[in-house]
Amino acid sequence: MRGEGWKARRDALAWARSIIPLFEARLFLEKVLGLSRVALMAHDELPLSESEREAFETLVVRRAAGEPVAYLLGQREFYGRTYRVTPDVLIPRPETELLVELALERADAGSRVLDLGTGSGAVAVSLALEKPDAEVTAVDLSPAALAVARSNAQALGARVGFLQGSWYGPVPLPARFDLIVSNPPYVAPGDPHLAEGDLRFEPSSALVGQDDGLGDIRFIVHGAANRLAPGGWLLFEHGYDQGRACRDLLTAAGFTEVQTWPDLAGMDRVSGGACGQPPLTRKS
Ligand code: GLN
C-alpha cells in the first residue's frame, strides 16, 4: 500500500487516489505541505521531502483504514468557521447548523444561553459569535472535550463560560436561561450505524443515548423547566425517527409551541418548545 517510487507532488496524488478519493488526498497533501489548493496545483511537479512524504503516506493509509478526515486533518468547518477537532469530540455535522439557526431566531442581544454537551464547542461558539452580547455557558462531562471547546472559543474569539459535569449538574441554581440548546447523544445502543463510517471512531459517550437512545433527551427535557426563564426555549437535536417521541416528551413536560424541524435532507432533526405560557411577543 505504501507509495514506493514517487517523488513529485502529482505522483503522490496519483498513488493516493488509487486507495482514497482524490479530494481527500489533496486535503492531506495541502496539510502536510502547508499549502493552499491553488499553490499546490500550480506546482505539482515539485518533489516532496522525505518527512513530507512519510507524513502524507501515513495520513492516506490511516484514511484508507477508515479514520475520519476531520480527525486526520484535526479540523472541520461548522457554520462558516473552522473548528479544531480531536477524537475526544464528536465531529460537527452540517445538520447541526439547523440547531444554531433555530437558536439564533430565538436569541436576543442579552440572552442567557446554555449549551449542554458542548463537545467541540461548535454550537456554543457559533451562538456566542453571532450574538456577541449573549451570555453563553457550555457544559460537558468530558474534561478532554472541554479542553477542545475552550481552545476553539479562544482561537475564534468567542466569550463562552465552560463548566465540567453531567448535564445540569454543574449549573448553579437558580439559573434562569432564555435558551437551552443541546446536541446530546441519541443513537440507540446497538444501532448498526455505530459500526459504520466516522461513527466507529467517535466517542460513544457523544453518540449513544441512555436506554433506548432517548434517555439523555428525557433527562434534558425534564430538567429544563427548572432552568428556563418563563417563555424561554429548549431546542435539541435528535435522530430522524425520534421527532414524535421528542414532541411527546416536551408536551408532557408542559412545553408550549412544541415543534419538530427537518434538516436540509428533509429528516426530522431538531425539536423544541417554549417554557410555560407563550411570551406575548416572540421574534419569528
Ligand atoms: N447525527 C449523528 C449521527 O447519527 C449523531 C450525533 C449525536 O448523537 N448527537 O451520525
CA dihedral 172, 177, 179, 185 (to 10 degrees): 10
| 56, 94: one domain | no
- 160 & 221 share domain: yes
Cβ partners under 8 Å of residue 200, min gap 6: 66, 194
Domain with 26, as residue range(s), is: 9-65
187 lines ligand 1 (CB under 6 A): yes
Q: What CATH number corresponds to the domain at position 158?
A: 3.40.50.150
Q: 48 and 133, same structural domain? A: no
Interval between CA 192 and ligand 1 midpoint (Å): 13
CA–CA separation, 70 and 91 (whole Å) = 7
Query: pLDDT at position 280, please?
Result: 52
CATH number, residue 40: 1.10.8
Same domain, 119 and 208: yes
Residue 117 CA, closest ligand 1 atom number: 9
Residue at 4 is within a domain: no
Atom 4 (ligand 1): residue with closest C-alpha? 187
Whole-angstrom Cα distance, residue 259 to residue 278?
13
Q: Is residue 169 in a domain?
A: yes
Cβ of residue 242 lying under 6 Å from some atom of ligand 1: no
H helices of the chain, where? 9-16, 22-33, 37-42, 50-64, 69-73, 97-106, 122-130, 143-156, 204-207, 215-227, 243-252
Take atom 6 of ligand 1 and give the residue whose Cα is closest: 207
pLDDT tens for each residue of 170-179: 998 888 999 9
- The predicted structure's pLDDT at residue 5: 65
pTM: 0.93
Q: Is 182 in the pocket of ligand 1 (CB under 6 A)?
A: no
Would you say residue 32 lies in a domain?
A: yes
Total domains in the fold of the chain: 2
Q: Is residue 244 part of a domain?
A: yes
Residues 59 and 177 in one domain: no
Domain co-membership, 227 together with 118: yes
> What does the angle CA 123 – CA 203 – CA 262 come to, to the nearest 5 degrees?
45
Statement: residue 6 has pLDDT above 60: yes
- In-domain check, residue 17: yes
Protein residue with least CA distance to atom 10, ligand 1: 199
Residues 234, 223 contacting (CB under 8 angstroms) = no
What phi and psi, each to the nearest 5 degrees, are found at residue 269? -140, -35
User: Closest ligand 1 atom to the C-alpha of 96?
Assistant: 1
Ligand 1 centre and the CA of 178: distance in Å?
25
Q: Does residue 280 sit within a domain?
A: no
Is residue 18 situated within a structural domain?
yes
Q: Among 43, 65, 87, which residue terminates a domain?
A: 65
Strands 160-164 and 135-140, how do they pair? parallel
Asked if residue 284 is part of any domain, the answer here is no
* 41/121 same-domain check: no
Nearest CA to ligand 1 atom 5: 207
Mean pLDDT of 212-223: 96
Question: Which pLDDT tens digit goes with each residue over 67-121?
Answer: 999 999 999 999 999 999 999 999 999 999 999 999 999 998 899 999 999 999 9
